Structure 1
Amino acid sequence: MMGKPPTQFDVFMKTHGTAKAQKRYFAGDHENIEYCSLTAKEAQEAYLQEMVKKHGEESSNHKDDARVDRLRAQVSTMEQQQQQMEEQMEMVMRMMNMFGNQPRAPPDNLPEDN
């Protein structure tokens, strides 16, 4: 929506802000945010307090939480594993096609006719 990867707060706002507040927020107005519930407001305030403790008062120093970085790393690893599995599957399929086109020998133990 904003032409850049969303921050954790962008996602929280999209999922917990009122419709009116979301419209204002994504238009650039980040003041007087209204949340869909008191619980959401309290959760965001607690998060911001922890960010101030961790990184100081200047909000530009507030980077996404380390949990987000870990999740991004996990997603990247999973994407690499998926790519490797797809490559292996393609190789198996090519091998099956190669061997599937060759004539097969009859089985060694055919049933006897009486």
Structure 2
Amino acid sequence: MQTQRDLSDVIWLQVDAPAKPSLGEACNGCGVCCAAETCPVSRVFLWQWRGSCRALEWHADLKQYRCGMLLHASHYLPYLPRSLEARFQRWIRRWIAADTACDSPSEAVPK
């Protein structure tokens, strides 16, 4: 018996985005993790608990998704002093283990 898919299970990504790597493989900027659920950074600083992360940015020139909090945090956190932005971004990079290995159990099935 086939069940109807809940729309909260659907994520929308650019057609040119790379395919999601397997767990443990190098991050390739596919965006599946951030589109499927929010990370602790999004929950704490953007007060977002559901849905695709607001800071998930598509970079067409790279054909990859990137974390806007890592690229320009002050855009998403206007109260963050620019003098602290680099330190904040290093802390965030470590907190979410950016650009390390894929740790998202979510799967992406193109339709």
TM-score (norm 2): 0.26
Larger Rg: 1
Q: Which has the higher strand share?
A: 2
Instruction: Pick 1 or 2: higher relative contact order, CA cutoff 8 A, min separation 6.
Output: 2
TM-score (norm 1): 0.25
